[in-house]
Amino acid sequence: MEDFILGHYSELLSSGIILVVVVILRFLTHKTVRKVGSISELNQARTRLVSKYISFGFTVLAVVALILIWGVNIKELGLILSSVFAVIGVALFAQWSILSNVTAGIILFFSFPFKIGDRIQIMDKDLETSGTYLIEDIRAYHIHLRKDNGQLVTYPNNLMLQKAVCVVSDEIIENEGSDAI
């Protein structure tokens, strides 16, 4: 055991440093995401979801760094990774809309143009029901919108970034109702 430790001292030290840095970065980003979520009054489930995505990203970076530190043969690893990525690429191409919705959900989390409880109007000619919607929940793939008549509409996150969305105040809705009388 001592021979292994002495023979691979620099790799073990580098691995330890990588692991400590990843743990510190994960802690700091989780704290930042929670702070952004609380300042923006975002749903805690949404905040936890974004934290999980960031943790996964740091884990992938740590694994790549450890592979480079321990000197895995890149040619053999390249063959394995190219085969794996070919299979994953075909699977992800079939699921591109899911990935774009998750990515859009993360972008919506950090840009927070609207939040749960806001009333919005979506400028989409393909949307069968026009009018205003109340945002009930923002999830990883879609947003739950409630019409005034109680109808629940799920709308994909990526379309929320592609279409024009207006945040409507309650005063405007009340004025429209009084004008009709």
pLDDT in tens, 101-159: 888 888 887 776 788 888 999 888 877 777 889 999 888 888 999 998 889 988 888 88
Q: Looking at the structure, do residues 89 and 118 belong to the same domain, yes or no? A: no
118-143 as b/e, with b when 16 or more CB fall inside 10 Å? ebbbbeeeeeeeeebbebeebbbbbb
In a domain, 105, yes or no: no
Q: Among 158, 58, 49, 43, which Cα is nearest to 108's?
A: 158
pLDDT of residue 178: 47
pTM: 0.51
From 6-10, 82-86, 175-179, the region with the lowest mean pLDDT: 175-179
Q: What is the pLDDT of residue 18?
A: 93
**Same domain assignment for residues 18 and 64:** yes
In a domain, 103, yes or no: no
Q: Which amino acid is at 134?
A: L
Does residue 86 share a domain with residue 119?
no
Top pLDDT among 6 and 34 is at 34
- Indicate the number of domains in the chain: 2
Report yes or no: 140 and 52 within 8 Å, Cβ to Cβ: no
Q: Do residue 85 and residue 118 come from a single domain? A: no
Which domain range does residue 129 map to? 114-180
Query: Where a domain ends, among 94, 122, 149?
Result: 94
User: Any idea of the CA torsion for 98, 101, 105, 107, to the nearest 10 degrees?
Assistant: 120
Judged by average pLDDT, the poorest of 52-56, 60-64, 129-133 is 129-133
More reliable by pLDDT, 104 or 91: 104
pLDDT band at 170 (very low <50, low <70, confident <90, very high): low
> Within a 13 Å sphere around the CA of 100, how many CA atoms are in the beta-carbon half?
11
Is the domain of 14 the same as that of 75?
A: yes
Query: Is 20 in the same domain as 56?
Result: yes
Residue 115, sorted as left (phi over 0), alpha (psi -120 to 50) or beta, turns out to be: beta
101 lies in a domain?
no
CA distance 130 to 28: 42
29: pLDDT strictly greater than 50: yes
In the chain, the amino acid numbered 43 is N
Q: Which residue has the higher pLDDT, 56 or 173?
A: 56
Look at residue 62 and tell me whether its pLDDT is greater than 50. yes
Is residue 107 packed enough to be buried (19+ CB in 10 Å), middle (13-18) or exposed (0-12)?
A: middle
- The reply to whether 15 and 70 lie within a common domain is yes
109 located within any domain: no
Q: How far is CA 70 from CA 12, 79, 162, in A?
A: 9, 18, 44
Q: Are residues 172 and 134 in the same domain?
A: yes
Q: Report DSSP state, residue 71.
A: T
Confidence tier at 180 by pLDDT (50, 70, 90): very low
Helix (H) or strand (E) holding 119: strand 119-123
Position 31 in a domain: yes
